[in-house]
Amino acid sequence: MRLAALITAAALTAGSALAQDRLTIVHVNDLDRMEGYGDTGGVARLATVIADVRADGGTVLATSAGDSISPSLLSSFDEGAHMIALLNMVGLDAMALGNHEFDFGPDVLRTRISEANFTMLSNNAFEPDGTLVDGVTENMMVSVGDHMVGIFGLTTDGTAVKSSPGDVTFGDPVDVAASTAAALRDAGADVVIALAHTDRPEDNQLVDAGDVDILLSGDDHDLVIRYDGNVAMVESGSQASLVTVVTLDIETVEGRRGPRVEWSPAFEVINTAGVEPDAAVAAEVAKYEAFLSAELDIEIGATPVLLDTRRTTVRAGESAFGNLTVDAMRAETGADVAITNGGGIRGDTTYEPGTMITRRDVLTELPFGNKTVLLEVTGADILAALENGVSAIEDGGGRFPHVSGITFSFNPALAAGERVSEVMVAGAPLDESATYLLATNDFMGNGGDGYAVFAGKPSIIEENAAELMAAQVIRAFETGAAVPMLDGRVTEIR
């Protein structure tokens, strides 16, 4: 018996049913941790949920809204190959490309797509010649009894700055959804589903536009179920801690002007804390974990302060772990200042004072395999970077800047681009005309997360000669060259 909360919706209209069919969808999103969190989530429990639903019979689709290839600890070793292998075992049917599918560049993504036994979808991610990303399927048309369901994929266009897509470009999700949904209906789809890794503003636009019937979303790591009688939307949190089962009853009814198709959804939210992991999948996860343990379960020292790496902390203000990271980057490179983005800190947890920190902990927090580059920038560049860093704070943007060698204040009530004040470098006011040596991660150094001001700057330490950020943090923590602390280097003005 599955542990679940059940939410149902009444049929849209009454009529004499000519044909009635049912499609059941098992939906997850943002699943990159094979092991999940403690006693909940992960691929082995997801495999059990999918198998249980399929055991009930009928037409079943298992879907993911993406962000699985990265970021995770093991992906820093194998560039996400283990997640494709595990999702193949789970029995996934379709996955949208999320922004993190591009973290290792488009060539690695194309390889991962070729390894998948399930369909990869993204109708708005384009190769330079205008075709869809190599290996991506344009759409799926699924027979559900006497009815047809069309499914297509969308990727947030923010991927261009959130990740490393190289020469891949992204069309507007709302515009692409409109044209693709119309084409699927022309091809005979009775119901149209968008499997979309899109952020909340994009979700809202897609729902308001009304071009699709069902939006299966990801990216925001929230549990969301919406149904307004026209469009239904589902997002299932993250890491398969919660799994949403959507049941669509589709029927053709006799209306005043002849037969028409109607559909009615029901939503079941499964808390996987009550689900027994699939034994075969769990065994594979254990093999991967054994490899990691041999390499990473080595203690590097006790933290003297609380380390809070929760998403809501590292994307909104100063963090002791963020300070440790940038202090290590600055010390290791001899930079004047260092900046890294809060979105690159991924542990989403807390470590109490006195907790013994391991190499695994650091790599869990910094899983992207980013390297520390050293650039020549001006004070004006630094100011522009800080303004970019706090420009999306109200949306929880991952660009929030953790800094070393710098102190600054910001006022989130002011307009973006006018929020930063009182910038000091080495105790002196920032000189916008002066040149500074900046340590940052290679993603930001290439203009990622909106830091376009860094792209093309003269490099002292280039990417191909740079060292892993995580290795610098581990070494600095081991030697005492950098110590986690909160010292008021970032101040929010209210």
Which residues are paired to 481 by β-bridges?
Answer: none
Q: Does 4 have pLDDT greater than 80?
A: no
Percentage with pLDDT > 70 across the chain: 96
Backbone angles phi, psi at 314, to 5 degrees: -75, -10
**Cα separation values, 122 from 127, 152, 154, 437, Å:** 12, 7, 5, 40
pLDDT at 16: 52
- Determine the CATH number of domain 4-286: 3.60.21.10
pLDDT averaged over every residue in the chain: 93
In this prediction, residue 19 has a pLDDT band, given cuts at 50, 70 and 90, of low
Backbone angles phi, psi at 153, to 5 degrees: -115, 155
Q: Does 1 have pLDDT greater than 70?
A: no
Report the SS3 class of residue 370: coil
Q: Does 11 have pLDDT greater than 60?
A: no
Cα dihedral 340→343→347→352 (10° resolution) = 60
Contact indicator for 374, 316 with CB cutoff of 8 Å: no
- Determine the CATH number of domain 297-492: 3.90.780.10
Q: Does 366 have pLDDT greater than 80?
A: yes
In this prediction, residue 369 has a pLDDT band, given cuts at 50, 70 and 90, of confident
Q: Does 386 have pLDDT greater than 50?
A: yes
How far apart CA 101 and CA 133 sit, in angstroms, is 12
Domain boundaries, the chain: 4-286, 297-492
The contacts of residue 144 (CB under 8 Å, 6+ apart) are 21, 22, 23, 59, 248, 250
Mean pLDDT of the 16-32 span: 87
Instruction: State pTM to two decimals.
Output: 0.77
Q: Does 13 have pLDDT greater than 70?
A: no
Angle between the N-to-C axes of helices 81-90 and 43-55, in degrees from 0 to 180, rounded to the nearest 10: 20
Mean pLDDT of the 450-463 span: 92
Q: Report pLDDT digits (tens) over 175-233.
A: 999 999 999 999 999 999 999 999 999 999 999 999 999 999 999 999 999 999 999 99
pLDDT at 75: 86
Q: Report pLDDT digits (tens) over 155-174.
A: 999 999 888 899 999 999 99
